[in-house]
Structure formats: C-alpha cells, structure tokens
Structure 1
Amino acid sequence: MRHVIALDVGGTGMKAALAGASGVAPRAGTPSLPHQARRPTGRERGPDAVVEGILDFAAELRAYGEQHFGEPAAAVGVAVPGIVDEERGIAAYSANLGWRDVPLRQLLTERLGGIPVALGHDVRTGGLAEGRIGAGKGADRFLFVPLGTGIAGAIGIDGRVEAGAHGFAGEIGHIVVRPGGPACPCGQRGCLERFASAAAVSEAWAAACGDPEADAADCAKAVASGDPNAVRVWQEAVDALADGLVTALTLLDPRTLIIGGGLAEAGETLFTPLRDAVRRRVTFQKLPEIVPAALGDTAGCLGAGLLAWDLLGHTNSTEVAP
C-alpha cells in the first residue's frame, strides 16, 4: 500500500501515523489511519536529544511500513512548533524545545534514505487538516484559531494555508486587544493570548478562586454552575477573544471561523457567548460561521500527512487516509 509518514511534534509528545491516499473513511466521514503511534518528545534531555528522537521515530515508522505494507513510505510530512522556515525545511526556533536553526528536512531525508520531506508549522498544519477534511471542509476561506497555552491562527484560502512572506501569517495571539495591558513574551503589552488563551484563563481563575491548581476547565465548570466570579473571568476572556477575532475577520473576511484547542472543549459554554460577542461587534463586516474544530488532537498529524501527499502532487481537497 502506498503511504506517507505523518509526524506531529509537540512540546511534550509526538503523534505519528502512516497515511494512505484513498480519502476519508466511508459513511462516518472522519479520517482513518492504518497505523498510529506516540512517543514522548523528551525535551528534558535537551534539543539535540529531541532531534535525535524525531529521527529515530521516523525511522521506526519507515520500517513498520516496509514490514506491514510491503513498501517504504513515499514521503514524510512533519509539523513542529515555533518559527518554521517551510521553504528551506528549517526549524528556526522553538522556545519549548530549545532548538535554533535545525535543518530538519535535510536530517530526515538523510536518515530515511533520500525520500522527500515536507516541514510545516504545527498550527498551520492543523489548520490545513481542519480546512480540507474537518470543520472547514468546503469553505473557500477560513480562519483556524486554537486556544491553548498560547493563541495562534491559520489562514486558509482555497485548500491551502498561508504562511506569509516571513512565516508569521496568522499570529492572531499577538494582536494587541488591551493597550498597556500585561506584558507578553513577544515584547508587546496587552496581547490577545494574555487574556483569552487557556493558560490565561487558568491563571485568572486560579487567582479569583484562591486555588493555585485550578485551571480553565475548572473555570468552565464553575461558569456552567453559575459561579459569579467564574462568569466574570470567563466573560473577560470571551470579550478579549471577540475583539481579536473581529480584527482578524475585518482583515481576512473568512467564510468560516474554526475555534479549537483546550478552551474549545468547554463547548457551548464558550461558543454561545463568543458568537454573541462577535455578533455585537460587527458592523459592516460579514459575520462568519463560528464552529468548533472537528479533528481534536489528530489535526496536526493529519495535516502532516496532507503536506506529504501535497509534496508528491497526489492530494486533492479530501485525500489523507485509507
């Protein structure tokens, strides 16, 4: 069976799969993958060990494909966090993983016997999957915004995700929504992710309730039970998020706005007030459909598979898995 290696590298874990090219699973309409595996990233051992772990994991996947599918993988797609030079195949910088200017495409190509390798940014790669086979399927223009430790975005246009001239397209988390607000690691003050990321909500709720172990999921539960302090914390986050999203939709005019990440797991506790807040803010803008992400934590891996098939020129708008 012809297949590719799909690898999603995170701050703490790596998700991988071998992906065929015959489309999505019948009837259910959800992607299926013939082989999946996970490994710890091992960042506590340093950046060189992380890189070696990626290479070893990819080699294991290649060997598995040869043994079980009768042929080696045709290509590799890899999604990594941080700043990514996709054209040159370099993982330029990642604060979480501690690396700088890692020629990951070259290293993987050499380790895997010369097969082609595509390297992508983790959020843009997840957005690619959501846009083609997930919540944005069929939308000619979409914006994918995962709300996790930070906030980033992926701008989708006609089945592709825009990287920008310098690889920074979609960094919605660093739109300033509260001028003069808390300092952000990026060097600005009042950035969106300082108010509306899962990490920001966790911090605000822990302070409000007096429990340093409380997190955003606890806040969402308290909102659902009517706790006034939780409602206040949550609404402040929703308002900041709506301000950032309206700025983005004013510039980008997406048909679909896809919200993912840990905060989106709150379901309608998030989406009902968020839709209302965005609706109140739009004037001349066309209100997009605001929907939850559909692929969960598999989006990055599925997107990496799409990158690999794109590299081979075999992907249409739905192909990713057998």
Structure 2
Amino acid sequence: MAGAVSLVIALDVGGTNIRGELVDPAGTVHAASHEPTAGSDGDATLDAIERVCRALLVEAGDRPVEAVGLAVPGVVDSRTGVVLLAGNLGWRDTAVADILGHRLGIPVLLHHDVNCAGLAERELGAGRGVDDMLAVFIGTGIAASLTVGGVAVGGGTNQAGELGHVVIRENGIECPCGQRGCLERYCSASSIGIAYAAATGRDAATSLEVVQALGSDPLADAVWDEAITALALGILGAITLLGTERIVLGGGLAAAGDKLVGPLRAKLEATVRVATVPEIVVAELGQRAGVIGAALATWKRLSDD
C-alpha cells in the first residue's frame, strides 16, 4: 500500500505471558495479541511467540512490518540474537532471533526485557528528566537497568544490571545461578513469600499476603523488614558506585507503593555514609513497560542501521 506507515511487532516474553503489540514509529499501538508462555519447553515457547507474531501480521494487513522486537529475560546477547540462558523459557544457547526470523520471513531483533522496561521508564515513565537512573525490577527475580550520563549501560559483555545476583551474604542461601547469598534470594517477591511461609509454618505464601498483613502481623513485619534491609544493602552498593540521581522501582513488588518506598528510603538513610540517597519512585508504566521498551529499542536499532 503506497504511503502506508511502517510498523514493528514488539513482544515482551515473560514467565507467564507473551504480550505483543503492533507499533508505529510514533508509538501508536495498532493491534495487540497475547498468549500464555509455554513453561520451560523451549520449542513450545518459540511456537507460542510465532503464533502471536502471525496474529499481529494478519492485523497489519498491507502495511509493512519492518521487524520483530523480542524482549526476553535471562542472559541474552542482543548483538547475535542468541539467548545464552533463559531457564524459565527452556532456552540455553538458542539462536532465537535466527529461528524466528526464518519462520516469519522478517528480521527479529533480540533485547533484554529489563533493559527494555528501563528504556520505557526513562523515556516515557518515571525516569523522565534525569540522566542518571537505576531502575530496579523486583518480581520472581531482581534485575536492574542502568543509565549513566543519559546513556544506557550494557557493559562490555552486554550483561550489566544483574543486581539480583550481587552476593550480599557470604555462604548465604543457595541460588539457582550456582552462587550463595544472592540479593534476590532475600528480597525478590518469590523469596519474600517463601520466607513468610517458613515463618508461619505454611506450605506456601505470597509477597502480597505479607504486604497486606503489615502492621497487623509481627511475622509479616519481620519478614518485610529483613527483605528491605537486604534490598537496601544491594542498592547501596549500586548508588555508591554510580552516583544515581533517581531510583525507579518496578516489577510486581512495586505494587506495594509507599510500603516499599518509605521503609527502603529510611533504611538507606540510616545506613549510608558516603553516597547520597537519591529520589526513590515507583515505575509508572506497569506491565506494559517491557513491550513499550521493545518497540522503542527496535525502532532505535532500525534507525541506527
């Protein structure tokens, strides 16, 4: 169709759902689709992503789709399009971009999901107006997106931001990554639920139950305080190193709002001696941050090329 606006397919692949949107360069969403993630079956995950893409290609009609921007968790090499490790999706050393690109017949650009969410918050959400930002996303695990001097920091290995695997306790709780004492073993949403279940003698519990019980259950208060103490310790190292202006808290645990922000700020202010405690805010874009960031990152890479 002559003069038709170009589009990209932006996808955010999480442990539970695959969210996809058809987006133009101005950020307008023309269609959306989603599917459940297929657990740890890597081939089934690829099939589910392909179905979302094909549904959006149908919606595109005659309008040209320039590329698929795919945001995934784990250890990814965005330059080669290879997912080195995404255990929850069933991928290890998997050339995801090439596989999907061959199936769909259009380029697939691979991104890290937290970097995408951080990009979206920096440009359109809670990170606007600052050049130095630490966006910390706390869900099943913990990861961060770093912005220094207005530039996103990927690092020489393109793996910067793995805050959840900074060791805060020597010989601490074993982490699936193989280390002991990783930050996310103490203050991720899943770890908070595990700690509360152990404290109450229950088979299972969630971080939401802990938040809801704050102020009325001393066990919930104790679990929350321990988690905030661990989170403050991990963030203290980052802000001391980076001189961060603003911390943006995202992910499922950020729904706690002031119950998270207030105690975290207080713990940092009581602990810090060298660094300056930055402004701490909650992310604004919610569950759409990843797919918005995937669209932004994809259009940027296309324009750079």
TM-score by length of 1: 0.88
Alignment check: 8 A CA contact 2:186 2:230 kept:
yes
Equivalent of residue 105 in structure 2, options 110, 113, 129: 113
Aligned to 2:254: 264
SS in 2 for 1:96: helix
Aligned to 1:177: 168
Aligned to 1:277: 267
Aligned to 2:56: 61
* Change beyond 3 A, Cα 1:160–1:18: farther
Equivalent of residue 240 in structure 1, options 214, 227, 230: 230
Separation of aligned partners in 1, 2:203 and 2:89: 26
Same amino acid, percent of matched pairs: 44
Aligned-pair RMSD on alpha carbons? 1.7
Gaps of 5+ in 1: 24-31, 315-322
SS in 1 for 2:143: coil
Equivalent of residue 97 in structure 1, options 55, 66, 89: 89
Aligned to 1:318: none
Separation of aligned partners in 2, 1:174 and 1:42: 25
- The Cα of 1:307 is off from its aligned counterpart by 1.4
- The Cα of 1:219 is off from its aligned counterpart by 0.6
Equivalent of residue 11 in structure 1, options 8, 15, 37: 15
| Residues 31-76 of structure 1: CA deviation (Å, up to 9, x unaligned) | x6232221112236x211211221232122122112xxx4121222
Name the count of aligned residue pairs.
Answer: 300
Aligned to 1:156: 147
* Structure 2 counterparts to residues 167-246 of structure 1, below 5 A: 167-223=158-214, 225-246=215-236
* More relative contact order, 1 or 2 (CA 8 Å, 6+ apart): 1
Alignment check: 8 A CA contact 1:128 1:159 kept:
no
Separation of aligned partners in 2, 1:8 and 1:19: 13
Separation of aligned partners in 2, 1:9 and 1:159: 27
Separation of aligned partners in 1, 2:181 and 2:93: 29
Alignment check: 8 A CA contact 1:196 1:238 kept:
yes
* Structure 2 counterparts to residues 27-66 of structure 1, below 5 A: 33-43=29-39, 46-66=41-61
Alignment check: 8 A CA contact 1:181 1:189 kept:
yes
| Residues 255-308 of structure 1: CA deviation (Å, up to 9, x unaligned) | 111111111111111111111111122222122111111111111101110111
Alignment check: 8 A CA contact 2:33 2:52 kept:
no
Alignment check: 8 A CA contact 2:138 2:250 kept:
yes
Alignment check: 8 A CA contact 1:201 1:234 kept:
yes
- The Cα of 1:239 is off from its aligned counterpart by 0.6
